[in-house]
Amino acid sequence: MKKVAQMFIVVFAAAFALMYLTSYLNARHGYSGADTLTIYNWGDYIDPDLIVEFERETGLKIIYQTFDSNEAMLTKISHGGTTFDVVIPSDYAISKMKEQGLLIPLDHSKLPNAKYIDPRFLDMPFDDENEYSIPYFWGTYGIIYNPEIINDIEFTSWNDLWNPSLRNEILLIDSAREVIGLGLNSLCYSLNEIDIGRLREAKQKLDRLTPNVKAIVGDEIKMLLANEEAAIGVVWSGDASEIIGDNDKLDYVIPEEGTNVWLDNIVIPKTAKNVEGAHKFINFMLDPENAARNTEYVGYSTPNMKALEYLPEEITEDERFYPGVEVTDTLEVYENLGKRMTSYYNELFLEFKMHRK
C-alpha cells in the first residue's frame, strides 16, 4: 500500500510538473486558445493599463511578448511553432508576410471602429484595401537638432547635414534603409530606388558626409541627444518627440526634399488560435478614447481621427508630428524591394560604415 501511495505521489508530481511546463511554454512561445490572446508587439508600444481593461471587459487573458525588429518577428513567425493572435509589424514587413502567406484577412464587419482611421493612411501600397492590416501608429523620419549648439543653421533640407561646420556632430540610426534613404532623398531620388547608378551616387554622397558623423547607433541615440552629447540626429518622429520631452531645447524638422512616412499596422497571423478574440482586441484599440490614451503613453502619432479630439491641442497642433496632408502627400512609404535589392542596400550601408573607419 505504501508503494502504491508513493507511486501515486510520483505520478501526481510528474503531472503537475508537466502542466506547469506546458503553461510556461504556452506563454513563452505564444500558444493560445479560446480563453487567451497572445500579442506580439514592439517593446513599450502599448499602454499596459489598456491590456488590463481589455482583460476585464472580455474575460480573456493576454499573453504579451515583444520583438525588437521586423526581421526578428518575421523569422519567428515564418519558422512556425508559435500561435500569436495579434502582431504589429511595419509597412514593408506586412508586404513580406502577405507574400509568404502568413496573414489572415481581416473581417471588417467586426471592426466598426475602423471608420475612425484617417483615409490618408488607408489603401497603402503594402496592403490595398486594408485586407490584412489596420493602422496602429504612424510617423516620419527627419532631423532633430539643438539650435543652441549649432548657431545660425536653420535646418530645412537633408543637404544641410553636409555643412562643414557640423564636423563630428551627427548621430545616425544603424539601419540601411534609413541611411541610404537620406542619401537618396538628398538627391531628390525615391526611397524605393532600384537603379544601381543612382544608388551608387547616393552612397558616394554619403561617403562625403562621414566627417560630420559622430556615430552610428541604436536606441541609445535618444539618450545621447537628450544629454547633448551630439547636436544633431537623424531619427524617427516618435523618438524625436520623446527626446524633446526630455530636452525642450531641441527641434525636429521634416526635410523639404521629402522623407519616409511609416506605418505600423495590426495584423492577424495565419497561425492564430483566437481569431475572434483578435478582432475584439483590434476594435478595442481602435476605440477613439483608447487610441488617445495609447497615443499619450507611447508618444507616436495616431492615425485615428476621432482620437485627436481627446488629445491635448499641444499634441495635435504640433505640425512637426502631425503634418498636414500637403506634407504627407509628398512622403513615401517603404516598399518591399525583394531579397536581391534589399541585400544590395545592406551592402551599400556596410560599405558606408567601413568608409568611416
Q: State the average pLDDT over residues 218-229.
A: 95
Report the b/e string of 92-109 with b at 16+ CB within 10 A: bbbbbbbeeebbbebeee
Can you list the alpha helix ranges (DSSP code H) found in the chain? 2-29, 48-58, 70-78, 91-99, 176-186, 196-207, 221-226, 237-246, 275-286, 288-298, 313-316, 325-328, 338-355
Q: Could you tell me if 212 and 170 are in contact, meaning their C-beta atoms sit under 8 angstroms apart?
A: yes
pLDDT at 28 over 60: no
Which cell goes with 56? 476585464
pLDDT of 26 > 50? The answer is no
Residue 161 has which C-alpha cell? 547635414
- Its sign, for the CA torsion 301, 302, 305, 306, is negative
Q: How far apart are CA 292 and CA 289, in angstroms?
A: 5
| DSSP structure string for 126-194 | TSGGGSSEEEEEEEEEEEEE-TTTSTT----SGGGGG-GGGTT-EEEES-HHHHHHHHHHHTT--TT--
Residue 80's pLDDT band (cuts 50, 70, 90): confident
Mean local confidence (pLDDT), 246-258: 96
**At 208, is the secondary structure helix, strand, or coil?**
coil
- Report whether 250 contacts 231 (CB < 8 A): no
CA distance 138 to 142: 14
Per-residue model confidence (pLDDT) at position 42: 94
Task: Identify the band that residue 23 occupies on the pLDDT scale cut at 50, 70 and 90.
Answer: very low
pLDDT per residue as tens digits for the range 288-346:
999 999 999 999 999 999 999 999 999 999 999 999 999 999 999 999 898 899 999 99
Predicted pLDDT of residue 32: 52
- pLDDT tops 70 at residue 17: no
Domains and CATH numbers, the chain: 2-137+265-323 (3.40.190.10), 139-261+332-355 (3.40.190.10)
Q: Output the pLDDT for position 24.
A: 43
pLDDT tens-place string over residues 113-128: 999 999 999 999 999 9
Distance, in Å, from the CA atom of 9 to the CA atom of 250, rounded to the nearest integer, reads: 66
Check whether 211 has a pLDDT greater than 70. yes
User: What is the average pLDDT value for the chain, to the nearest integer?
Assistant: 91
Query: Would you place residue 151 in the very low, low, confident or very high pLDDT band (cuts 50, 70, 90)?
Result: confident
The pLDDT value given to residue 152: 80
For residues 71, 72, 75 and 76, what is the CA-based torsion angle, rounded to 10 degrees?
Answer: -150
Please say whether the beta carbons of 294 and 136 come within 8 A. Answer: no
- Lookup: cell for 153: 543653421
pTM of this structure: 0.85
- pLDDT by residue (tens digit) across 154-188? 899 999 999 999 999 999 999 999 999 999 999 99
